[in-house]
Amino acid sequence: MTDRSRPESPVDPHECPPDLAGALLWGQRRLAGSGVDNPGLDAALLLGRATGTERARLYLEPRRLLDRGERERFGALLTRRAAREPVQYILRRQEFMGLEFEVDERVLIPRPETEILVETALELLRGRAGSAAVADLGTGSGAIAVSIACLHSPARVWAVDLSPPTLEVAAANAARHGVRDRIEFRQGDLLAPLAGQCFSLVACNPPYVGADEIGLLQPEVHRFEPRLALVPPARGEARPDPLHFYRRLAAEVPGCLEPGGWLVVEVGAGQAPAVQRLLAGTFAVERAVRDYGGHVRVLAARPRGHGRAAGG
């Protein structure tokens, strides 16, 4: 059986039809043949990049001819996408919460499910009086931290990640959106670099994919996205535990929250009951927010025994 996730040969730009309409259809067929989801959209995005043409104009000027350089660039981009490299890495951008983020192989691609986490966090923060200190643990591209800083001006954000190269991307995104002065970036493991600080809200989208599940995901994910952001670390001889970070959050976060403070986490599809049980010893889960597929995707909880701040 042919492995549809790997093209047998690079895309030959000499086969590309001479006009935009023909090139677009050719690219779509080439990507569809490699098993790419949404081949029409991806072909349009890549053709737009190769020709410097806005996507809408690809359809308004179907007979516009491509020059040799444009055909070669399009062929090179198609080769990468046909190899199942994510289109976001090829274009080096992803939209999230209405903002454009730079992304590459150093960071996980922000997903729509994580927008639910940000929307939940913003709702909780707007229910509090005054300024707010927010920690984003495992910030990755900075999507959560930057979005909160952009969309809730009273917030001061601390963004933590274990990987220095990842923090470079996050800091660049903060600068891109003009909030670099309101986000402090710290390198380290979860709360370790934030010792002694207290927060109004701690947000975390931790690695939660099991080691036996990673190979079942799309090639774009398991072959290109950073494993550190997907799968919890193995401990000795044991296999990675998908709930590893939730166990740590349940134990470590209560001591760093202000009275009435919140822990807001993203969970994998089907993981919510297990995560709720883990949190139950130290937290009261007060919100369980579903994604568009009906799965509980975000849990918001407060430590048991904490007083509640006014407006919380």
Domains 13-84 and 94-303 share a fold: no
State how far the Cα of 216 lies from the Cα of 272, in Å rounded to an integer. Answer: 21
pLDDT in tens, 217-255: 999 999 999 998 999 887 655 677 899 999 999 999 999
From the candidate CATH numbers 3.40.50.720, 3.40.50.150, 3.40.960.10, 1.10.10.10, the one assigned to the domain spanning 94-303: 3.40.50.150
pLDDT at 162 over 70: yes
> What are the sequence ranges of the domains in the chain?
13-84, 94-303
> In the structure encoding, which two tokens stand for residue 22, read together?
């023909």
Class of domain 13-84: mainly alpha
Residue 5: the pLDDT is: 44
Contact 129, 217 (CB under 8 A): no
SS3 sequence of 111-156: CHHHHHHHHHHHHHHHCCCCCEEEEEECCCCCHHHHHHHHHCCCEE
Q: What is the mean pLDDT of the chain?
A: 92
Tens of pLDDT along 98-152? 999 999 999 999 999 999 999 999 999 998 878 899 999 999 999 999 999 999 9
**Beta pairing, strands 132-137 & 199-204:** parallel
pLDDT tens for each residue of 19-68: 999 999 999 999 999 999 999 999 999 999 999 999 888 999 999 999 99
Model confidence at 256: pLDDT above 70: yes
Task: Write the CA distances from 173 to 99, 154, 186, 249, integer angstroms.
Answer: 10, 19, 15, 26
Q: What is the pLDDT of residues 275-302, one digit of tens each?
A: 999 999 999 999 999 999 999 999 999 9
* Mean pLDDT value across residues 196-221: 92
Per-residue pLDDT tens for 80-100? 999 999 999 999 999 999 999
**pLDDT, greater one: 311 or 264:** 264
pLDDT reading at 184 higher than 50: yes
What is the pLDDT at residue 2? 33
